[in-house]
Structure 1
Amino acid sequence: MELSAATPITPMLAKAVDVVPEPDGVPGGLSYEPKWDGFRAIVYADGETVEISSRGSTMLTRYFPELVDAFSRLLPQPCVLDGEIVVRTANAGGERLDWEALSQRIHPAASRIRTLSQQTPASFVAFDLLSQGDESLLDRPFGQRRAALETLVAGLPAPLHLTQTTTDVGLARRWLVEFEGAGLDGVVAKRLDAAYSPGKRVMLKVKHHRTADVVVRGYRVHTSGRGVGSILLGLYDAEGELRNVGGASAFSDARRLELVDELEPFVLRDEAGEIVVAETERNRFSSGKDVSYVPLRPSLVAEVRYDQMEGSRFRHTAQFFRWRPDREPRSCTFEQLELPAAYDLTRVLV
């Protein structure tokens, strides 16, 4: 298969598992690496031009001119790389990944893109090599692709980096705990004898999972117009203000309809008995979207599963677990959240 930006390849994906898997019994063994929290990207460098494709085959090239320049200058030969675009920022514990700064890089204005490329420059972490020169490596086992990637990329200066790997499951489990403090998302396991399978979930990923008791602030109607599409979640801060921390969704058709009845006693209504409709704050991602929701009295507590925090919000959509009628809403504060120990990102990047 000839790989080019004209017909972008779909990245190989991972399926979620609960624990870092043991290599015992796996043909060829397993290789473990950090799971980076950034934009998955396939880089096509043919020696003259550079194109960067997203996981969904959308071209990201124009948004990261500093990476295009780095690939053009630093890559020693034509190749196709699989990896992650990240943005690094400093904090009290050293450096860590900054998802918010990375998300701001997708902007329609060329002038803003140029400014951000200087203010919050991106880095690229390579973790697979799909072609080298004019030879496709897709059918080669990962162990061989990784060795070729090390020869190609190892020693190149920032902003290009090579992800760490290990075959030591104990070390991988330590990474799962320690690297979260630098903003990483978990650990990925890959079979050393596996070919590259575009679009297939043949890798394994382990992410952080925690629970929190939250106040249900309201709900959005499903896009079908029937039932609850998502519930809005809140936690009380140190000043006693109920802060928005994100939402929970992914309900079945039947559950969406059940939730309407369950939430009905808590719906805020005006003096005429009509449902009060509110709107969440708009941002550049919600432009043109319906941000209205049905507010609820802050009386209902739910337990949700989440992976990590991004500032004062859940990084990803939370998963509803169960109601907590035994919890007082005012007891649902940020203090309950487990915060990872700070870890310097420079100790993760190589």
Structure 2
Amino acid sequence: MPALPDLVRPMLAVPGELPTGDDAGWAYEMKWDGVRAVAYVQGGRVRLLSRNDRDVSRSYPEIAALGDAAGPAPVVLDGELVTFDPRGAPDFGRLQQRMHVADPAVARRLARTVPVVYLVFDVLHVGDRPTLALPYDDRRQLLEGLALGGPSWQVPPSFAGPGADVLTASRELGLEGVLAKRRGATYRPGARSPDWRKVKHVHMQEVVLVGWRPGQGRRAGTVGSLVLGVHDADGVLRPAGGVGTGFTGRALDDLGALLRPLERATQPVAGHLPPADVRDVHWVEPRLVGEVVHAGWTSDGRLRHPSWRGLRRDKHPDDVVRED
């Protein structure tokens, strides 16, 4: 049986605008609000690796049946793990319940109550043939030829455009935005390439957790808000403000348990901070990544009106950069 590669890191998109002047040279896909995963399917078994190379197969047992459904040829697939709300829209909040579940019994129970669908949008290897050097259109034809479709996996459509119409449709469907992918582009493992553009309706930003402030009132002594950092273009971790909304009580308790063992005496972000920005802060080692939705950036590089969306343990702190 042909051997699959041990690791193919996912290609990443850059934030941007819809292509102009060459709409026919691009394909458009809906942007799904989930967790990226590369699936290695061989001999009836499925191994799911997250963006930071963690094996997350145990957390999503309903995807295991893809091993038999994919057919006899081994394949490597790229896609997104997504949960849907009762209206059929992606629900990242519900997906949080499924992420990082290590207990197989708990994972099986959650698979019934909070099911996940693996939305496959690329194929990186088929049989003994790597497909990375093929253009997008050829890879897409191969993917559709696999005829993948099941209770917990699907191949969502790719659209020819116009891109503006696809973006409008994504808004009407309550989706996050679209991905524009250059039709002639090869797949570049681990690279963030302008051949893939993500165009969003809302501002979202991955952030590094660099500290926390105690809560007030009934939450005194517990986590009340988080202090955030984002890397600049030179890879330096800079302060990005803080977030104090969007949390559930349980989320704050869980964050407290994760952050307290990481406490340190000095700030992990570069530069001089005014007294108001350091007062009452418990600094932590910058090892955890989260995600916020926000209203833009201030002139001094702080997030405007951020609201917490959740931890992103599938992301590495070094990969967190400002997305304008």
TM-score in terms of structure 1 length: 0.61
For the pair 1:206 / 2:199, whether they are aligned, the reply is yes
In the alignment, which of 120, 128, 146 is matched to residue 126 of structure 1? 120
Q: RMSD in angstroms over aligned alpha carbons?
A: 3.9
Q: Structure 1 residues 289 and 88, CA, compared in 2 at 3 Å: closer, same or farther?
A: farther
Distance 1:158 1:255 in 2: 44
Q: Hey, what does 1:321 align to over in structure 2?
A: 298
Q: Is the 8 A contact 2:18 2:164 kept in 1?
A: no
Q: Structure 1 residues 254 and 190, CA, compared in 2 at 3 Å: closer, same or farther?
A: closer
For the pair 1:63 / 2:59, whether they are aligned, the reply is yes
Q: Hey, what does 2:230 align to over in structure 1?
A: 250
In the alignment, which of 19, 24, 34 is matched to residue 21 of structure 1? 19
Secondary structure of residue in 1 paired with 2:93: helix
Q: Structure 1 residues 95 and 247, CA, compared in 2 at 3 Å: closer, same or farther?
A: farther
Q: Hey, what does 1:272 align to over in structure 2?
A: none
Distance 1:36 1:286 in 2: 30
Q: What whole-Å deviation, never above 9, does each CA across 1:227-269 have from its counterpart, x for those lacking one?
A: xx5798x9xxxxxxxxx7976543878975xx9xxxxxxxxxx
Equivalent residues in 2 for 1:229-308, closer than 5 Å: 249-250=229-230, 281-283=252-254, 286-287=257-258, 288-290=261-263
Residue 31 of structure 1: how far off its partner (Å): 0.5
Q: What whole-Å deviation, never above 9, does each CA across 1:292-338 have from its counterpart, x for those lacking one?
A: xxxx99xxxxxxxxxxxxxxxx9526454259xxxxxxxx9x9xxxx
Q: Hey, what does 2:221 align to over in structure 1?
A: none
Unaligned runs of 5+ in 2: 216-223, 242-250, 265-274, 277-289, 308-324
Q: Hey, what does 1:12 align to over in structure 2?
A: 11
In the alignment, which of 138, 148, 154 is matched to residue 144 of structure 1? 138
Q: Hey, what does 1:329 align to over in structure 2?
A: none
Q: Structure 1 residues 45 and 167, CA, compared in 2 at 3 Å: closer, same or farther?
A: same
Q: Hey, what does 1:88 align to over in structure 2?
A: 84
Secondary structure of residue in 2 paired with 1:97: coil
Distance 1:122 1:20 in 2: 29
Q: Hey, what does 1:265 align to over in structure 2?
A: none
In the alignment, which of 23, 39, 42 is matched to residue 43 of structure 1? 39
Q: 1:85 corresponds to which letter in structure 2?
A: L
Secondary structure of residue in 2 paired with 1:11: coil
Residue 53 of structure 1: how far off its partner (Å): 0.9
Q: Hey, what does 2:314 align to over in structure 1?
A: none
TM-score in terms of structure 2 length: 0.65
Secondary structure of residue in 2 paired with 1:52: strand
Distance 1:10 1:281 in 2: 32
Residue 194 of structure 1: how far off its partner (Å): 0.9
In the alignment, which of 72, 77, 84 is matched to residue 72 of structure 2? 77
**Aligned residue-pair number:** 250
For the pair 1:166 / 2:159, whether they are aligned, the reply is yes
Q: Structure 1 residues 255 and 189, CA, compared in 2 at 3 Å: closer, same or farther?
A: closer
Residue 60 of structure 1: how far off its partner (Å): 0.9
Unaligned runs of 5+ in 1: 212-221, 224-228, 235-243, 260-279, 298-313, 324-331, 335-350
Q: Is the 8 A contact 1:230 1:250 kept in 2?
A: no
Distance 1:194 1:127 in 2: 15
Q: What whole-Å deviation, never above 9, does each CA across 1:20-63 have from its counterpart, x for those lacking one?
A: 222x348x710110111111011111133211111111111111
Distance 1:67 1:285 in 2: 32
In the alignment, which of 105, 108, 122 is matched to residue 102 of structure 2? 108
Residue 178 of structure 1: how far off its partner (Å): 2.0
Larger radius of gyration: 1
Distance 2:31 2:72 in 1: 27
Residue 125 of structure 1: how far off its partner (Å): 0.4
Distance 1:62 1:247 in 2: 32
